[in-house]
Amino acid sequence: MEKTRFLSNRQLLSLSILRILVGWHLLYEGVTKFLTPGWSAYGYLMSAEGFLSGFFQSMASDATILEIVNLLNKWGLLLIGLGLFIGLLTRLSIYSGALLLLFYYLAHPPFIGIEYGFLTEGNYLLVDKNLIEMAVLLALSFFPTGQYIGLDRIIFKNQVN
């Protein structure tokens, strides 16, 4: 396996650290949602802006759909974060994470002419942290770091060989 490697140790290590940092962030976002009693995506969805605001708000207005969205968010963030962190099912985690971040980006897009008042920290023009984190994940998808530093190394060992 090491023979087929095309990355230097430093490159591999820094990409893995990048993956673990994103994992840490998403995992913690998930964990806090479990630790906050009565947490709900309601406010986040209702304050949605941009061309998909109606779609996000309609999610919040239906109790059943909202409940599903809440569950997907909590478990999604938790499992994706964990996957990235420990390099477990890394590719799946990367793609799911990128998709989730795309939703966050579109729910509150930093488009020209949209004001968020107190909701944002910092200043963004078209590009925000969600978009950057998504791009990081997409970039990482081209480097299977989990198969070097992470549990995928054991799981996919025979496949690589």
Partner 1 sequence: MKINRRDLLKSLAPLPLLGVFGFATNWDYRINKKEKIKKNSFINDLNIHPQIPPPPPPIKGKPVKLGVIGTGIRGEQLMWGLGFVHPDAMAYWKKNLPEKLESFRQQEKLNIKITAICDLFDFRANQAMETLGNGGEEPVRYKTYEELLHKADVEAVIIATSDLWHAPIATAAAKAGKHVYVEKPLSHKVNELYQLKKTVEQSGITFQLGHQQRQHQSNYTAREILNKNIAGHINLIQASTNRNSDNGAWQYYTYPEHPESSIDWRNYIKGYYDLPFSREHFFRWRKYWKFGSGLTGDLLTHDYDRMNLITGMGIPRYVTASGGIYTHRDGRNVPDVMQVGMEFPEYFKGSSQKSGKEKGMSFLYSATLGNRFSRETLLMGHDATLELKNDLLLWIDKNSTRYQEVLNQGLVDVNEPIRGFTAENDVDAITSATAQYFANKGLLYDYRDEKLVDITHLHLKEWLSCIRSGNKPSCSINDGFEEAITSLMATLAYKTNQRVEWDRQQQIIQVPGVPNNKLDDLLIKT
Which residue ranges make up the site for partner 1 (CB under 8 A)?
A: 16, 20, 24, 27-28, 31, 35, 85-87, 148-154, 157-158, 161
Shortest reach from residue 86's CB to partner 1, in Å:
5
Cα separation, 161 vs 157, in Å, equals: 6
Whose CA is closest to 43, among 69, 77, 76, 64?
Answer: 69
CA atoms within a 13 Å half-sphere pointing along the CA-CB vector of 123:
1
Contacts of 78 (CB under 8 A, 6+ apart): 27, 30, 31, 34
Instruction: Return the number of the residue (127 or 154) whose C-beta is nearest partner 1.
Output: 154
Measured from the CB of residue 102, what is the shortest distance to partner 1 in angstroms? Answer: 25
The token pair that represents 129 in the structure block: 């942290």
User: CA quadruple 80, 134, 46, 39: dihedral positive or negative?
Assistant: positive
Instruction: Please report how close the Cβ of residue 15 comes to partner 1 at its closest, in angstroms.
Output: 13
Minimum CB–partner distance for residue 113 and partner 1 (Å): 22
By beta-carbon proximity to partner 1, the closer residue of 52 and 154 is: 154
**Which residue number, 29 or 128, has a Cβ lying nearer to partner 1?**
29
- Residue among 86 and 100 whose Cβ is closer to partner 1: 86
